[in-house]
Amino acid sequence: MKEAQITLQENSDGELFFEIPPDLLDYLDWEKGDDLKFTDHKNGVITIKKVKYETIELDFDDEELLKYMKLAHDKGMSFNEWVEYSLKQIIEELK
Query: Residue 6 has what pLDDT?
Result: 87
Query: Residue 15 has what pLDDT?
Result: 96
User: Hey, what amino acid is at 64?
Assistant: E
Residue (of 82, 33, 84) closest to 55 by Cα position: 84
Query: Residue 13 has what pLDDT?
Result: 96
Task: Please state the pTM of the whole predicted model.
Answer: 0.56
Cα angle 53, 30, 54 (rounded to 5 degrees) comes to 5
Query: Residue 95 has what pLDDT?
Result: 85
* Segments making up each domain of the chain, as ranges: 9-51, 62-94
- Residue ranges of the chain whose pLDDT lies below 70: 1
Query: Residue 62 has what pLDDT?
Result: 96
Query: What is the pairing mode between strands 16-17 and 9-10?
Result: antiparallel
pLDDT tens-place string over residues 5-17: 889 999 999 999 9
